[in-house]
Amino acid sequence: MPAAAAANPPSSILVYVGLDLMGDALMKMPFVRALRETYPKARITWLAGKG
């Protein structure tokens, strides 16, 4: 983890995925898992809508 991220981790993270097909959303899951590993205390919000 970069030093700046360790010193001041975010309390919440917004992941905007647009209006994707289900398969496209599933492809983003490794990214969300990496966010959770990097920032375990952050609240991660998944927002899907028209892009």
Domain that holds residue 23: 11-47
At 10 the pLDDT is 93
Is 25 contained in some domain?
Answer: yes
CA 17 to CA 28: how far, in whole Å?
8
Residue 33's SS3 state is helix
- Encode the chain (51 residues) as per-residue pLDDT tens digits: 555 556 889 999 998 887 767 777 788 889 999 999 999 999 999 888 775
pLDDT computed for residue 6 by the predictor: 64
Residues 6+ apart with CB under 8 A from 19: 48, 49, 50, 51
What's this model's pTM, rounded to 2 decimal places? 0.68
CA 44, CA 47: separation in Å to the nearest integer? Answer: 10
* Total tally of structural domains belonging to the chain: 1
